Amino acid sequence: MTVGTTEAHTMKSNVPFMLLCTIGLTFAVLMLASGLQVLDPMVRHDDFGALLADPTDFYVKTLEEGRWLNYWWHLRGWVTPAWINFSVYQFFWAIFAGAAAVNACGKEEPFRYVAALALMIVVSLPALLISVWFNTLLPGLGLVALFALLASFLRPATMRWLLLLFVPLTLMAYTTFPLLLLTVCLTTRDLRRSWWDLLTLMATFVISFALGLLVIYSLNYMEHGVFGISIANWRNPTPPHDLASVIANLGLVLEFFKETALTIAFENTTMVTIFVLVLTGSLIYLARVEPWTALYIFAGLFAGIGLLSLQIIMTGVITPARAVNFVWVLYSVLCVRVAVVCHSKGRVPANLAWSFLLITITVYLIWIWERYFIYTYWQDETRALAVQAGTGAGPIYVIGSYKALKSESKVGIMGPRGLQLRLKYLTGRTVFVCDRTPDACENVSADALSGLVVPVPEVRQMQDRTEIILPPVTE
C-alpha cells in the first residue's frame, strides 16, 4: 500500500468520528437555541393534523400542493407527543448541517472550520421559520438528512444517481427540499470539477425534478382526476395570459427578492446591504483563488432562485421566504470556504475571516433563541386556559375572539382554529370556538352570548360543558 493510499484510508476512516462530533455539537447548540420550545413546541394550526395523525384537512393539499409524502405520513395511525417530534425534527436538521459541513470541507480541513460551517448552516433563519411545521415536514427532512449523510460515504457519481430517487420523494414533502440535495452535490469537496461535470449534475437534477413533477401529476390524476396542481384560491393565483400579466408577475419576483433579503437579515435594510456585499465580495474573491468552487456555488444560487422565480411568474403566487433555505446553505459554504483560503494567507486575514464567522453564528443564534422564546407566550397563555378548563368529558365552548389573548399578535395566530386545536390537544376534549362555528354554540350561557365583559379570560364549569369567556378585543 502506498503512502498516498494510506493517508486517504486514514482520512476516510475518520469520517464517522468527524460526523459524530460535528452532528453532536450542532444538535446540542440547536437544542439550546430552541430553549423552552423543546418542552412544549409551537404548533401551527395546519400542523396539528400531522401531530394527531388526522389526514382529514390535509387531503386537499395533495391536489393543491402535491404533498403526497406528507399525506402518507398523516395516515401512519399512531401519535407521538409534540416534544418528541420537535426533537427528532431538530436532530434531522442537525444531521443535515453536520453532514453537509463534513462533505463540503472534506477530510483535510481543521475541525473548527467544519464545526463553524455546520453551526452556520443550522442557524438559518428560513430553517427557523419553517420549523414550526415540524410535525408535517418530519419525513421529508429525514430524507434530506439521510441524503447528506450518504454523501459523506458514497462517491459523488453514486449520489447523482440517488437524486433520481430522493428528489421526487422530497418534492412531495416541500417544494424546495430538492434544492438542499442539490447544494450537497454542488459543494462536495471531493469533486473533480469541470464544465462537463457541472452540466451533467445540473441535467441530472432537472431530470429528477421533472420526474418528481410527473409522479405528483400522475398521482393527482389517479386520485383527483386532474393531471397537475390546482392552486388553492386563497393563494390568489394569477397565471399569465398575455405580456402585461407576465410583466405584472415579474414585479412579484422583485417583491420575493425583497422579502427574502429582509427575512434573512432580521428585517433590517443595513443587514441586507451587508449580506449582499459579503455574498458578492466572497464570490468574486473565491472566483480568483478557486474559480471552480465559486462557479458551482453560483450555479446552485442561479438554479434555485431561477426555479422559484419561474414558479412565481407562471403562477402569480409569491413564494414565502422560508423556502430559500438553500440560499443560506450556499452562502454559509461560501463564507467558510473563503475563511479556509484566508487561513493560508496570513494571521490578519485568517483572524478577520474567522471573527466574521463567529460573529455571524453568535448573532443568529441569539436571534433564533429570541424568536423561539416569543412562541412561549402563546404556549403559556393557552396552557393556563387548558389547566382551568380541566380534562372533563364535556365539550369546551370559547366565547369571544381569539385575538383577545395577548400573545396572539406576537406569534401570528391567523385564525380561531389555532386556539381550537391547541386547547383540543392540551385537554383531549372537543372544543368549539363560537367565532368559528356559531351554530355549535346554541347551548352556551345566555349572558355569555349577550356580551358579558370580563377583564381577563374567565372559565366557567357547567355540569355538561366548560365555557371560556374571553375579554373584548381592544384595538
DSSP string, 55-120: -TTTTHHHHHT--HHHHHHHTT-----HHHHHHHHHHHHHHHHHHHHHHHHTTTS-HHHHHHHHHH
Q: In sequence order, what are the beta bridge partners of 461?
A: 466
| C-alpha closest to that of 107 among 196, 230, 9 | 9
- Residue 435 and residue 400 in contact, taking contact as beta carbons nearer than 8 Å: yes
Sheet with 458-461, edge to edge strand ranges: 431-433, 396-399, 466-469, 458-461
**H helix count then E strand count, the chain:** 20, 4
Tens digits of pLDDT across the chain (475 residues): 333 434 334 344 588 899 999 999 999 999 999 988 999 999 988 899 999 999 999 999 999 999 999 999 999 999 999 999 999 999 999 999 999 999 999 877 889 999 999 999 999 999 999 999 999 999 999 999 999 999 999 999 999 999 999 999 999 999 999 999 999 999 998 889 999 999 999 999 999 999 999 999 999 999 999 999 999 998 889 999 888 989 999 999 999 999 889 888 888 888 899 999 999 999 999 999 999 999 999 999 999 999 999 999 999 998 888 999 999 999 999 999 999 999 888 788 889 999 999 999 999 999 999 999 999 999 999 999 999 998 878 899 998 889 999 898 888 888 899 999 999 999 999 999 988 888 888 767 655 555 556 778 888 888 888 989 898 876 5
| C-alpha closest to that of 61 among 144, 136, 140, 142 | 136
> Mind listing the pLDDT tens digit for each residue in 163-210?
999 999 999 999 999 999 999 999 998 889 999 999 999 999 999 999
CB atoms within 10 A of CB 202: 18
Q: Which helix (H) or strand (E) is 292 found in, with range?
A: helix 291-315
Rg (CA), the chain: 25
| C-alpha closest to that of 201 among 292, 72, 315 | 292
For position 435, what pLDDT does the model report?
A: 84
What's the whole-model pTM score? 0.92
Written as one string, the DSSP assignment of 245-282 is HHHHHHHHHHHHHHHHHHHHTTT-HHHHHHHHHHHHHH
- Residue 399 and residue 469 in contact, taking contact as beta carbons nearer than 8 Å: yes
> Mind listing the pLDDT tens digit for each residue in 388-419?
998 878 899 998 889 999 898 888 888 899 99
For position 12, what pLDDT does the model report?
A: 46
Q: Which set of grid coordinates corresponds to residue 168?
A: 421526487
- Residue 370 and residue 411 in contact, taking contact as beta carbons nearer than 8 Å: no
Q: Say how far apart CA 400 and CA 386 lie, in whole Å.
A: 16
Helix (H, G, I), strand (E, B) or coil at 229: coil
